[in-house]
């Protein structure tokens, strides 16, 4: 069993491995976990303890469709060079990148690159498809919409999708920016000026045609920020409900550390593996 592991923003493969030390000790010793490095040098990530030494990396330089396409292309290369893999484990930005990548592959009709996914404290995924939500973003730019203002429920100017996009932004990205936890940083002006081509495309189940059709496990910390909980909930919503398992541990924005909670995460992983073995086999 070979599993690709993706670290969070402003972190590294070695740091991520140390964060998952308790989890790695509890899993089947025959499993191989490969911790890949993001391609972009970064400042220290939000919440990254001072005891972690750099250099620090991120998986993307930003979240525009072009920047996300570069990040997914790098992930593609990583899979080609280090794989094949049975599953993927992502923490924070790494989990969101994994979901973005798998959704893109599914939309393209490509064979699933992984049989299962483990998402720990996922942030909100962004799409690399410039056409996705293009009409929504263009309209917001044409209206010079202030994304920091909550849209009225009966606002006749906004469509359902436009209102949903704004509400999700407020609950996640803008809330994170207020806490200084948005990295890489970008200006909200991309949603109110220009043609919207550089505006990040947040992914939400109600804005996507199909949900991800592989077993996924979603683990969050009970003491994490509300906006992080919202991000993780939205990320989980991209996955087929009958193929998901949700766990909550007693900590914050980090993997579970307590013995019982670590064992619960390992059991959930084994559940995902067993579910994947019952599904049609697709290998690259």
| 213-226 pLDDT, tens digit each | 999 999 999 999 99
* Residue 226 half-sphere exposure toward CB, CA atoms < 13 A: 7
The model's pLDDT over 92-123, given as tens digits with 9 standing for 90+, comes to: 999 999 999 999 999 999 888 999 999 999 99
DSSP, collapsed to helix, strand or coil, labels residue 217 as: strand
- Residue 281 is predicted with a pLDDT of 59
Q: Decide: pTM greater than 0.75.
A: yes
Assess whether pLDDT exceeds 70 at residue 152.
yes
Neighbours of 198 (CB within 10 A): 20
Q: Residue 61: enclosing H or E segment and its boundaries? A: none
Assess whether pLDDT exceeds 90 at residue 282.
no
The model's pLDDT over 17-31, given as tens digits with 9 standing for 90+, comes to: 999 999 999 999 999
5, 103, 152, 160, 254 from 95: Cα distances, Å:
9, 12, 32, 28, 12
Beta bridge partners of 56: 42
- Residue 217 is predicted with a pLDDT of 98
Give the residue numbers marked as catalytic: 92, 224, 253
Distance CA 71, CA 73 (A): 5
Assess whether pLDDT exceeds 90 at residue 209.
no
Each domain of the chain, given as residue ranges in start order, spans 2-128+205-277, 134-202
The model's pLDDT over 117-140, given as tens digits with 9 standing for 90+, comes to: 999 999 999 999 999 999 999 999
Distance CA 248, CA 109 (A): 33
Neighbours of 114 (CB within 10 A): 26
Assess whether pLDDT exceeds 70 at residue 159.
yes
Assess whether pLDDT exceeds 90 at residue 246.
yes
CATH for 2-128+205-277 (3.40.50.700, 3.40.50.10710, 1.20.1250.20, 3.40.50.1820): 3.40.50.1820
Neighbours of 110 (CB within 10 A): 12
* Percentage above 70 pLDDT, the chain: 97
- Residue 149 is predicted with a pLDDT of 87
Helix-helix angle 226-237:160-171, to 10 degrees? 140
Q: Using CB atoms within 10 A of its CB, is residue 241 exposed (0-12), middle (13-18) or buried (19+)?
A: exposed
For residues 87, 60, 139 and 178, what is the CA-based torsion angle, rounded to 10 degrees?
100
Q: Are strands 56-58 and 40-42 parallel, antiparallel or unpaired?
A: antiparallel
* DSSP H stretches of helix in 27-92: 65-82
Q: Residue 117: enclosing H or E segment and its boundaries? A: strand 116-120
Assess whether pLDDT exceeds 90 at residue 49.
no
Assess whether pLDDT exceeds 60 at residue 284.
no
Assess whether pLDDT exceeds 50 at residue 283.
no
């Amino acid at each position: 069993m070979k599993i690709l592991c993706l670290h969070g923003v402003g972190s590294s493969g070695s740091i991520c491995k140390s964060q998952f030390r308790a989890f790695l000790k509890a899993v089947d010793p025959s499993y191989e976990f490969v911790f890949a490095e993001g391609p972009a040098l970064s400042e220290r990530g939000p919440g990254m303890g001072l005891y972690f030494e750099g250099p620090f990396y991120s998986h993307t330089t930003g979240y525009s469709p072009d920047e996300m396409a570069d990040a997914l292309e790098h992930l593609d290369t990583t899979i080609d060079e280090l794989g094949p893999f049975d599953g993927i484990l992502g923490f924070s930005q790494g989990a969101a990148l994994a979901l973005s990548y798998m959704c893109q592959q599914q939309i393209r009709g490509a064979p699933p690159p992984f049989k299962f996914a483990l998402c720990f404290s996922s942030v909100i995924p962004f799409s690399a498809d410039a056409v996705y939500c293009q009409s929504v973003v263009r309209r917001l730019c044409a209206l010079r919409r202030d994304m920091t203002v909550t849209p009225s429920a009966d606002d006749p100017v906004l469509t359902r999708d436009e209102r949903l996009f704004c509400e999700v932004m407020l609950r996640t990205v803008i809330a994170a920016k207020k806490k200084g936890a948005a990295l890489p940083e970008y200006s909200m002006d991309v949603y109110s000026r220009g043609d919207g081509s550089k505006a990040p495309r947040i992914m939400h189940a109600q804005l996507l045609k199909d949900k991800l059709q592989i077993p996924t496990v979603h683990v969050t910390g009970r003491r994490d920020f509300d906006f992080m909980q919202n991000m993780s909930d939205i990320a989980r919503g991209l996955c087929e409900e009958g193929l998901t398992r949700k766990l909550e541990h007693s900590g914050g924005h980090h993997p579970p550390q307590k013995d019982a909670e670590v064992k619960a995460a390992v059991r959930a992983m084994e559940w995902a593996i067993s579910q994947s073995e019952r599904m049609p086999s697709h290998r690259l």
